[in-house]
Copies of this chain bind each other. A is one copy, B any other.
């Protein structure tokens, strides 16, 4: 016995046609103020609410944004999720949350998004094969890679300016020491990981400073274990730049466990500026990703493409900022 009060019921009570009821609840349709009042009164009395499914069926569009996410362990992403949902809510859109375990999005998940004919898709963290991404293009569903880029850049992406960021980080480190350094990458196939290394490497090469690269996985444990490996490999580096904060925290804990002083013996820098980076236990120097700006950029692009599909794609880069704390 679901409450099944529909537009026709309201129409009858208000003494108008179903069409008029529809027009009252559809933004951008013309109705006299008088009928609007009558309809709203009747709707209120009956507790009427337009059926979203009937709407989507007839308009062949939806008010749902698909948000695909992998790394909920990394506090950066819940933050992103929160921003997106609140921002989209303001614009009348709801968020269908899709969690994927694998790096590459499952076709099963894509099916879901297509079944619901989502108005737009955001992919954070995870990656996606070309032909799958094309399925969205074919259906004119706008798609944004958030904090990731696909190698072939036929797709829209919104990232922090990783190159600039890692250059600045390298220059900052180079000023206070020239000993060999370490870069800890996340999963190697991610654009963020590559770009952050690239800028870092560039500057260090210019300055004639050596660095060694360790491969990890963007997780706390990954950082922790990598730090252990660094130590067992030989001398303590002058600085460690981890591709994200949560790895940096792992690195710090591992170093400290061995009695190594930060920043006296080794400087540590992360990336993201997650909340925990500011905790007294860590006070991590890092690079702040401007989540709000990135989210705004993404939302605006999606809303634009939703209202009029152009298919134009661009790699948007937002500037972040250096946050100096006590690990450097």
Interface residues, chain A, with chain B CB atoms under 8 Å away: 1-4, 49-54, 56-57, 60, 62, 64, 67, 72-73, 75, 77-79, 81-82, 85-86, 89, 94-99, 101, 108-109, 111-112, 114-117, 138-140, 220, 224, 249-250, 252-254, 256-257, 275-276, 279-282
CB pair A99–B82 under 8 Å, yes or no, is yes
CB pair B73–A78 under 8 Å, yes or no, is yes
Known: A52-B115, A95-B96, A275-B73. A60 touches B4 (CB 8 A): yes
How far is B89's CA from A1's CA once the two chains are assembled, in angstroms?
A: 27
Q: Of the candidates B56, B89, B97, B112, which one forms a contact with A53 in the assembled complex, judged by CB atoms under 8 Å apart?
A: B56
How far is B69's CA from A78's CA once the two chains are assembled, in angstroms?
A: 11
CB pair A57–B67 under 8 Å, yes or no, is no
How far is B282's CA from A252's CA once the two chains are assembled, in angstroms?
A: 12
Q: Which residues of B contact A86 (CB under 8 A)?
A: 99, 101
CB pair A280–B3 under 8 Å, yes or no, is no
CB pair A280–B224 under 8 Å, yes or no, is yes
Q: Which residues of B contact A282 (CB under 8 A)?
A: 281
**Besides A54-B57, A78-B78, 15 other CB < 8 A contacts?**
A1-B140, A51-B57, A53-B54, A53-B62, A53-B116, A72-B81, A73-B75, A81-B99, A85-B97, A85-B99, A86-B99, A86-B101, A220-B276, A220-B279, A256-B281
Q: Which residues of B contact A256 (CB under 8 A)?
A: 280-281
Q: Of the candidates B49, B53, B112, B257, which one forms a contact with A57 in the assembled complex, judged by CB atoms under 8 Å apart?
A: B53
CB pair B72–A78 under 8 Å, yes or no, is yes
Q: Which residues of B contact A85 (CB under 8 A)?
A: 97-99
Q: Which residues of B contact A220 (CB under 8 A)?
A: 275-276, 279
Q: Which residues of B contact A56 (CB under 8 A)?
A: 53
CB pair A51–B117 under 8 Å, yes or no, is yes
CB pair A53–B281 under 8 Å, yes or no, is no
Q: Which residues of B contact A139 (CB under 8 A)?
A: 2-3
Among A52, A62, A109, the one with the most B-chain Cβ atoms within 10 Å of its Cβ is A52
How far is B67's CA from A101's CA once the two chains are assembled, in angstroms?
A: 19
